[in-house]
């Protein structure tokens, strides 16, 4: 089976390999600061669903350090400025606009990627991002995780699918590229629930630009981690997960770019599934199965 891989798509688009530099906008999340809740989503670690190394320094320094780190391991020359952790459109809108502009103005940054919640996208911010996308590509990454509101409530996501529908439509109308995140293996969801989420994403109109598929990682220090230690629940095996991922690939429009299909959670916090520890082995197995499918 051929899939539209992120790495290949970037070469097609930018003529060479590009690397993500994780950046911090210094945001929090309405699901953490008391606006909607304080505990966050049940699966989210204190780092807001992302690992970041230099959160407290100016953005230009973050970019410089990110490039420096990559230079030690790769021949990277072009980068994606990636605001990954927490809700990166939440907070002082002027300050955020300045940050995004500064990142996109870096000559070696070829795209800007902003992860956020669908209920934190004001019209002015969407219109600003749309203007920025006239300079370089701007991707908005929306954490849906599941299309099933019942599971979302159990996970304390604190927004309903309707909010996602509305944000998706507004972003696409503004001409922005949208990447949707989903999680497989959420407690209480069976195969049919997960396929329902996949079907929902694959039937979005206009077609979804990109997807990140994650295996649920149960982490220490999260509500889900505590629940699991109290009362363990079944987690997907690598084989089951791979099978579901392949079924999702079959459903998605051909044009959808697969940005990720494995997890990259913090190893030191991972409780289950233990197979996620062996990232290389997991990738080899999955790639072999995808090629055979
Ligand atoms: S919305 Fe994102 S950052 Fe906020 S608690 Fe949920 S996963 Fe974490």
201-244 pLDDT per residue, tens: 999 999 999 999 999 999 999 999 999 999 999 999 999 999 99
Q: Which domain holds residue 143?
A: 6-292
Among candidates 127, 121, 107, which has minimal Cα distance to 173?
127
**Measured CA angle at 83 (ends 152, 174), to 5 deg:** 75
- CATH number, domain of 192, equals 3.20.20.70
CA of 159 to the centre of ligand 1 (A): 11
* Structural domain includes residue 54: yes
Among candidates 33, 67, 28, which has minimal Cα distance to 50?
28
Q: Is the dihedral of CA 137, 56, 19, 108 positive or negative?
A: positive
| Residue 148 confidence (pLDDT) | 98
Among candidates 293, 283, 162, which has minimal Cα distance to 215?
283
* β 210-215/218-219 pair status: unpaired
CA 98 to CA 111: how far, in whole Å? 16
Structural domains counted in the chain: 1
CA of 87 to the centre of ligand 1 (A): 7
* Structural domain includes residue 77: yes
Q: Is the dihedral of CA 120, 188, 215, 28 positive or negative?
A: positive
What are 262-293's pLDDT values in tens digits? 977 778 899 999 999 899 999 999 999 999 99
CA 242 to CA 287: how far, in whole Å? 9
| Residue 73 confidence (pLDDT) | 87
**Exposed (0-12), middle (13-18) or buried (19+): which is 107, by Cβ within 10 Å?**
exposed
Position in ligand 1 atom list of the atom nearest CA 115: 2
| Residue 50 confidence (pLDDT) | 58
CA 77 to CA 269: how far, in whole Å? 32
CA of 293 to the centre of ligand 1 (A): 34
Query: Which protein residue's CA is at the shortest distance from atom 4 of ligand 1?
Result: 29
**Measured CA angle at 265 (ends 143, 110), to 5 deg:** 60
* Structural domain includes residue 256: yes
Q: Is 112 in contact with 176 (CB distance < 8 Å)?
A: no
Query: What is the DSSP-derived secondary structure letter of residue 174?
Result: T
* Structural domain includes residue 1: no
57: helix, strand or coil = coil
Would you write out the chain's pLDDT as a tens digit for each of its 293 residues?
A: 999 999 999 999 999 999 999 999 999 999 999 999 999 999 998 765 555 556 679 999 999 999 999 998 889 999 999 999 999 999 999 999 999 999 999 999 999 999 999 999 999 999 999 999 999 999 999 999 999 999 999 999 999 999 999 999 999 999 999 999 999 999 999 999 999 999 999 999 999 999 999 999 999 999 999 999 999 999 999 999 999 999 999 999 999 999 999 977 778 899 999 999 899 999 999 999 999 99
pTM higher than 0.85, yes or no? yes
**Probe residue for ligand 1, chosen from 40, 121, 219, 222 as the CB with the greatest number of ligand atoms within 8 Å:** 40
Q: Pocket residues for ligand 1 (CB within 6 Å)?
A: 29, 31-32, 40-41, 44, 48-49, 86-87, 117, 143
CA distances from 257 to 27, 179, 180, 213 (A): 27, 9, 10, 11
* Structural domain includes residue 228: yes
* Structural domain includes residue 186: yes
CA 10 to CA 19: how far, in whole Å? 9
Query: Which protein residue's CA is at the shortest distance from atom 5 of ligand 1?
Result: 40
Query: What is the DSSP-derived secondary structure letter of residue 254?
Result: T
Query: Which protein residue's CA is at the shortest distance from atom 7 of ligand 1?
Result: 44
* Structural domain includes residue 268: yes
Can you give the C-alpha Rg of the chain in angstroms? 18
| Residue 51 confidence (pLDDT) | 56
Cross-strand bridge partners of residue 183: 214
Query: What is the DSSP-derived secondary structure letter of residue 5?
Result: B
- Please state, for a pLDDT cut of 70, what percent of the chain lies above it: 96
CA 193 to CA 147: how far, in whole Å? 8
Query: What is the DSSP-derived secondary structure letter of residue 277?
Result: G
């Amino acid at each position: 089976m051929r899939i539209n891989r992120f790495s290949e798509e970037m070469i097609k688009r930018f003529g060479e390999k590009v690397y993500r530099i994780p950046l911090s906008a210094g945001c929090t999340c309405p699901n953490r600061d008391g606006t909607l809740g304080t505990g966050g989503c049940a699966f989210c670690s204190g780092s807001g669903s992302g690992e970041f190394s230099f959160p407290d320094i100016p953005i230009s320094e973050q970019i410089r350090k990110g490039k420096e780190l990559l230079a030690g391991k790769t021949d990277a020359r072009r980068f994606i400025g990636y605001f990954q952790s927490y809700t990166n459109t939440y907070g002082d809108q002027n300050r955020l606009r300045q940050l995004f502009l500064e990142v996109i103005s870096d000559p070696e940054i070829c795209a800007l990627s902003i992860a956020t919640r669908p209920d934190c996208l004001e019209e002015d911010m969407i219109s600003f991002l749309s203007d920025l996308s006239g300079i370089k590509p701007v991707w908005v990454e929306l954490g849906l995780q599941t299309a099933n509101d019942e599971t979302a409530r159990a996970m304390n996501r604190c927004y309903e699918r309707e909010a996602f529908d509305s944000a998706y439509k507004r972003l696409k109308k503004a001409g922005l590229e949208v990447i949707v995140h989903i999680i497989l293996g959420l407690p209480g969801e069976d195969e049919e629930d997960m396929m329902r989420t996949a079907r929902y994403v694959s039937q979005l109109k206009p077609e979804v630009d990109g997807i990140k598929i994650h295996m649920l990682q149960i982490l220490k220090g999260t509500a889900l981690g505590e629940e699991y230690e109290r009362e363990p629940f079944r987690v997907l095996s690598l084989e089951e997960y791979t099978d579901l991922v392949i079924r999702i690939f079959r459903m998605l429009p051909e044009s959808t770019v697969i940005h990720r299909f494995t997890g990259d959670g913090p190893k030191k916090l991972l409780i289950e599934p233990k197979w996620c520890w062996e990232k290389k082995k997991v990738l080899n197995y999955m790639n072999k199965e995808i090629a055979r499918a």
